[in-house]
Amino acid sequence: MAEGAIKNSRASISVAITGIAGPGGGSVEKPVGLVHFATSVKGSDTLHFEKRFGNLSREEIRDTAVKTALEALIERIKNMPAA
């Protein structure tokens, strides 16, 4: 998703997020609270990581995931080469 956003827009940086916020839909392999993140920068590698937020409410998982995605995006921006 992050790479697709770069390829299909004029953006030079993107963030993508997907996961299982619950309350249902989880499994042993993919439990509720599992969220995957990716950041992509044009001309650079895409970085992926996952977080397991555990037994939080759907709202808490979503809120925490958004904050985590924005923090990852900010870190990528800080590390971008100067134009």
Rounded to the nearest 5 degrees, what angle is found at the Cα of 77, between the Cα atoms of 75 and 80? Answer: 110
Structure tokens at 63: 């809120």
pLDDT in tens, 8-44: 999 999 999 999 999 888 898 999 999 999 999 999 9
**Residue 83 within any structural domain of the chain:** no
* pTM as predicted: 0.90
Per-position DSSP letters for 5-53, written without gaps between them: HHHTSS-SEEEEEEE--SSS---SSS-TTEEEEEEEETTS--EEEEEE-
CA angle at 16 for the pair 11 and 17, rounded to the nearest 5°: 160
CATH number, domain containing residue 49: 3.90.950.20
Q: How many domains does the chain have?
A: 1
Residue 8 lies inside a defined structural domain of this protein: yes
Give the model's pLDDT for residue 83: 64
pLDDT of residue 80: 80
Tokens coding 75: 């870190």
Which domain, by its residues, includes 63? 2-78
pLDDT tens digits along 37-81? 999 999 999 999 999 999 899 999 999 999 999 999 999 999 887
